[in-house]
Amino acid sequence: MKLPRSGVAVVRHGDGDAERMDALVRRAQAGDVDAFEGVYRAHAPAVFALCKRMCGDDVEATELVQDAFVRAWERLPGFRGQSTLATWLHRLAVNVVLERWRSKKSDAMRMLDDPEGIALNAVEQRADPDAGMDIAAAMTKLPMGARTVFVLHDIEGYAHDEIATMTGIAAGTSRTQLFRARRALARLLEP
C-alpha cells in the first residue's frame, strides 16, 4: 500500500490538533522545555519505531531516540514549518542514525553500497528454507545497508534521490538494494 510519508500519515491531525502542536512547537522554540516534552511524547513512538527498524536493536534504538530529541531541541529554532514537524523529526532522526554509523565506521555504511547484493545473497543462503518468519524478524536478518534503504523508502517514504543524498550512495544503487531487499524479505516470509 502506498502511503504518504509515514510521519505525516501517523500524526494526521485535524486543524485543531495541528494548531495545538504548532503552539507547543512555538513555545519550545522560545525555550520552553515543558512544551518540548509535549512534542517528545507525541512523536517519540514514531521516532523510536524508525530507529528500531533501522538498527534492529531496542537498546541502540532508545539511545538514538535520546540523541535525536536532544538534536531536535538544538535545531528547533531553525524549524520554519516548510515540512510537517513529523517529517522534519524523521529526517533528523535518520541523520542521527547515519552519523552514528559513520562515526563507528560500521559495516552498515559499507553494506549500503553493495550493488551486487552480496550481503543479501548471504542472508538468503543462511536462512532456514523450511521456516517462514514474521516480518519484524525477517527485517533484522537483512544486512543493515539493505534494511536502511528498505526502511527509508518503503516505510518512511523517501525517494531514491533523497536516500542517495542522505547516505552518499548512488540513486541506482538505492533502487537495486531496495528491489533485492524486498525479494529477500518475500522469500524469508514464505512458509
Partner 1 sequence: MRVSVQMLALLCACVVGALVPSRAHAQHAGATDPVLRARALRAGSPLKMFIPSGTVRLVGWDRDSLVIRGRVPSSGKLMFGGSDTSGYKLVIEQRDGGELPESHLLIYVPRRSQLSLKTADAIVDATDVSGWFYTVSGRYHIDGAASSLDVEAMSGDIDLEATTPYARAKTGKGHLVVRGTPQDVDASTIGGMLDIAASSIMHGRFTSVTGDIHYASAIAPHALFELSTHSGTIDLLLPRDVSARLELSTVDGEIDNGFTSVRPAAAGVHNLRLSLGAASADITVRTFKGKVLVRSR
Partner 2 sequence: MTQAHLTEERLQGAADGSLDAEQMRAVYGHLSECESCAAEVARLRTVMTRAREANTGAPALDDLWPAIRSRIEESKVVAPKAFAGRASGASARRPWLAIGSTAVAAALLVAAFTQMQRWTPHASEAVLPSQDVAFASAVDSTRIYEDESRRLLNDLEMQKAMMGPSASASLSGDLAIIDRSIAEQKGALARDPHNIALQRLLAAAYREKVDLLRRANNAG
Q: Under 8 Å CB-to-CB from 81, ≥6 apart: which residues?
A: 22
DSSP 113: S
Provide, rounded to whole angstroms, the least separation between the CB of residue 135 and partner 2.
4
CA angle 47, 51, 55 (to 5 degrees): 175
Residues 134-163: x where in contact with partner 2 by CB under 8 A, - otherwise, as a string: xxx--x----------x--xxx--------
Answer with the entry of partner 1, partner 2, none that 122 interacts with (C-beta below 5 to 8 A by kind).
Answer: none
CB distance 43 to 89 below 8 Å: yes
Does 125 help bind partner 1 (rule: CB under 8 A)?
A: no
Does 78 help bind partner 2 (rule: CB under 8 A)?
A: no
CB distance 10 to 46 below 8 Å: yes
Identity of the amino acid at 97: V
Give the distance from CA 33 to its chain's centroid. Answer: 25
CA angle 158, 94, 161 (to 5 degrees): 30
Answer with the entry of partner 2, partner 1, none that 49 interacts with (C-beta below 5 to 8 A by kind).
Answer: partner 2
Answer with the entry of partner 1, partner 2, none that 4 interacts with (C-beta below 5 to 8 A by kind).
Answer: partner 1
**Of 16, 34, 78, 82, which lies in the binding site for partner 1, with binding defined by CB under 8 A?**
82
Of the candidates 162, 39, 9, which has an alpha carbon nearest to the alpha carbon of residue 94? 162
Kindly identify the residues of this chain, within the stretch 3-62, that bind partner 2 according to CB under 8 A: 3, 6, 9-17, 20-21, 24, 27, 30-38, 40-46, 48-49, 52-53, 58, 61-62
Does 81 help bind partner 1 (rule: CB under 8 A)?
A: yes
Residues lying near partner 1 in the complex (CB under 8 A) are found at 1-4, 80-82
